[in-house]
Structure 1
Amino acid sequence: MTTTEESPTASGSGSNATANFQATRTYRAGQRTADPERVSAVVSAVLDGINRAVLDHEVTYDEFQAVKQWLIEVGEGGEWPLFLDVFVEHSVEEVAARSQDGTKGSILGPYYLPGQARLDTPASLPQRPDERGTPLVFSGRVEGTDGAPLPGAELDIWQADEQGYYSGFAPHLPDGNLRGVVVTDDHGCFEIHTIEPAPYQIPTDGPTGKMIEAAGWHPWRPAHLHLLVSAPGHRTITTQLYFRGGQWIDSDVARATKPELILDPSDTGDGTRSVEYHFVLEQG
């Protein structure tokens, strides 16, 4: 991702992600009663892991105080959704996948925004008149685990642009850019015209970035398409599709890539790339 004056900051991205999470989360305090035994087991395991790390690595008081300050800064910067989505969500998704059939899932990430334009297939994602990037035609079918097509299924799709920026999180992009909800036809088929996204680095000017730098890690995610694929009476799939040979594909900072989710587009001869992918939804 090229650094420009329009680059989203960690603070801006964090506050947007936090606001979006609070507006769209389904859980609200008081709506459900937590099982005390479950809370005790999970919280105890987390605390045991932290204390074991302190003892095993002989954490000093100076390091302990630095951690407390870092935790405060993450909260003040609204970066908890960013931090948890990048470093923890892949494990939560792995647990969920143990009891799921159909297309492989992946993490949602912090850049989802609901309420995007609804588009009938074949569809072109909203984009700027001078949108840069290699044209991509992404097509396929949505079907059930029995192979039956699912007409009227929805593909809520969003992606970064050719510079690695997401609309809604980068101030220079118009709202809804490269976002849309595409509806399959009577045969469960879809065709989406867009561009190939670029890899992007998570914002590094905040406390999450400071942690990455201190650990000597890289902050990059490989290029990918985000999707929520849904149909009445079926479990919604949350997934990401990557591109074969793409940079960072084997060292994703979010550890979210899977072999089943890698696309292999082909050139059509006119500067456009084309690829098919079929989604399978289980009933639920």
Structure 2
Amino acid sequence: MSLGDEHDTRRGDGYGGSGQTRTRLPGAADTDVYGGARRPVRTSRSLIGVVGVIVLLIAAIAFANQGGGDDTDGGSAKSPAAAPTAPSGVRPVKGTTSGIPTGYPQDEQGAQSAAANYAVALVSADILKPDRRGGIVRQIFLKDRIAELEGRLDQAYSKDFLKNIGLDEKGEAPTGMTYVSRTAPVGTKTTQFSPDSATVEVWCTGVFGTAGVSSTNPVTNDWFTMTLKLRWSEGDWKVESFAQKDGPAPVNADRTASSAEDISKAVEQYGGFTYAR
């Protein structure tokens, strides 16, 4: 069973996977959350943004549903209970390579720190840029997966795809607009660990869309969980496959949305972090 099929059968992969795409329709009945509280009704603008997020992530999830190898690791692997939620205080990495944190320790905390930082890279705006995508793939994936994944991602993030979300062939937004795709891990959980392999779930939130006065894909937020299957290779944790599913998501707060200018400034002025368990 592929990792994508195991963790997210609700999404179609566009390549003949077993899942089916979940489409959110305007006017669909709201569901009860938190013992009866009603989820606020999404406006048409936020609906467009949510659909944009799904379109952005679905291509990256596609290849995860096509493979990932045998999920078993023999009798040496163990499946620990959920780790404590408190941070460990352990230094996460030794340095960075091409802007991506690298050099994780070969232990459970190292695997969780690697998964958190790799989740950020895999859902970044840079993954859409042809001149940056190859470097990301080569840095975080196993060597024997690189050629296949580069081909699939190049096909998924084609010129037509980029045009449909308002970007040019280089993955850049039009003049006066800023494309935003920034992820913030909220927590991590190891579901399988051995010295040579690990499966880690990363609970994330993020902001996605195009900031600009005339944008048809406004910046909105989303909550999702990314599951990464890691292997110890070349002295570091590397990704073998990954999958993504929605939630857990809190009740939406009724806050006034910031202007496109404020969002653009925030993206430019606030730097990211190196994440650690």
Normalised by the shorter chain, which TM-score bucket?
Answer: under 0.3
| Structure with the higher helix share, 1 or 2 | 2
Q: TM-score, normalized by length of structure 1?
A: 0.26
Whose Rg is larger? 1
Q: TM-score, normalized by length of structure 2?
A: 0.27
